[in-house]
Amino acid sequence: MSKTRKVLVTREDCPQAGLDLLRNSKCELTIVPGDYPSREEIIRAIPGHDALYVVGNHVNVNAELLDAAGPSLKIISTISSGYDHLDVPEIKRRGIIIGHTPVVLNAAVSEIAVMLLLTAARRAHESRLLLEAGKSERKPMWLLGQDVSGSTVGIVGLGMIGLAIAKRLVPFEIGRFLYTGHAPKKSADEIGAEFVSLDDLLELSDFVIVATPLTSETRGLFDDAAFDKMKKTAVFINIGRGAVVKTDALLRALKEKKIFAAGLDVVDPEPLPKDHELLTLPNLEIVPHIGSATVRTRNNMAIVAAQNLINALEGKPLVYPL
């Protein structure tokens, strides 16, 4: 880069590799102090910066924030694959470039999906609770789970992550893969998946996996009616975005045993309050949105986001533009 550019980093807790790459590329960094800076702190700090390096999805980038940034802002680079925290049409309308970090997290997120699927199917959380309570019953019909081999797995959103999950499940001898979305996809042939309607997928699947982004179409897609269509033995997994599911509907489905179990990496709201009823359910495996939280993956995401930012400022194509 020929001249020094001003970059606002939205929080302190950020992989060093991304910060180093920015600093080595003539970027002058303003890091908003603290791990959870408020929106107001970010808005106060942003005027006059050339670039915004969004560390995660903790800040909504909308017209108010863009107004505060002023005309110097050229690129918004988020260290995330998802971009529901960005008002993309508004940002683009202002001619600001957007970068994100897909692909590098596919393996980590799909590993979490498989972990949730196996632990929910085999009642890992419930087993642990019973052990801790000293209620170990060594009887043949105790803690029976659902079989993964021979099962039908339905994937809502067969994008790169949906496909990565399916490929990791193939060695478990899945009987049949189904998927739904806007239209059939060529990539489905790699796992022999059949394109079906959402209703068919819900009715036929033993495992329903949500791997779709949050859009106006997918918000609240899983409501009472959706859970009512699923098998009583079904296991529901969500590694997409929490708001694709109506949390109260999922709570009812699990409590009333409309479905067998669920495994969640994402939930609405995040973070889930510690006294939320979902956390009392033995048939729920839940982790706090850690799908991409491995050392290598987070470093790679930070590096890709930094490279997106640098490329935009140098007038070059981004690694992953939106």
Look up residue 245 and give its DSSP letter: B
Cα separation, 154 vs 34, in Å, equals 41
Binding of ligand DGY at residue 105 (CB under 6 A)? yes
Binding of ligand DGY at residue 106 (CB under 6 A)? no
One of 10, 81, 106, 307 touching ligand DGY (CB under 6 A): 81
Binding of ligand DGY at residue 82 (CB under 6 A)? yes
* Among 74-82, 124-132, 196-204, 302-310, the segment contacting ligand DGY (CB under 6 A): 74-82
* Burial zone of 138 (CB within 10 Å; 0-12 exposed, 13-18 middle, 19+ buried): exposed
Give the residue from 119, 184, 192 showing the smallest Cα distance to 158: 184
CB of 194 to ligand DGY, least distance (A): 27
Contact 249, 223 (CB under 8 A): yes
Give the residue from 286, 227, 300, 314 showing the smallest Cα distance to 80: 300
Cα separation, 138 vs 153, in Å, equals 31
**Site map for ligand DGY, 23-62, x if CB under 6 A?**
----------------------------------------
CB of 110 to ligand DGY, least distance (A): 12
**Site map for ligand DGY, 230-269, x if CB under 6 A?**
----------------------------------------
Cα separation, 222 vs 210, in Å, equals 10
Binding of ligand DGY at residue 291 (CB under 6 A)? yes
Dihedral angle of Cα 44, 49, 53, 55, to the nearest 10 degrees: -10
Judged by CB, which is closer to ligand DGY: 163, or 234?
163
Cα separation, 159 vs 205, in Å, equals 18
The three-point CA angle 80-85-91 to 5° equals 100
Report CA torsion sign: 120, 126, 129, 131. Answer: negative
* Among 120-128, 158-166, 245-253, 286-294, the segment contacting ligand DGY (CB under 6 A): 286-294
Q: Residue 85 catalytic?
A: no
Judged by CB, which is closer to ligand DGY: 146, or 292?
292
Judged by CB, which is closer to ligand DGY: 22, or 109?
109
Judged by CB, which is closer to ligand DGY: 66, or 302?
302
Please give the size of the binding site for ligand DGY, defined by CB under 6 A.
7
Would you name the residues annotated as active-site residues? 289
Interacting residues toward ligand DGY by CB under 6 A? 80-82, 105, 289, 291-292
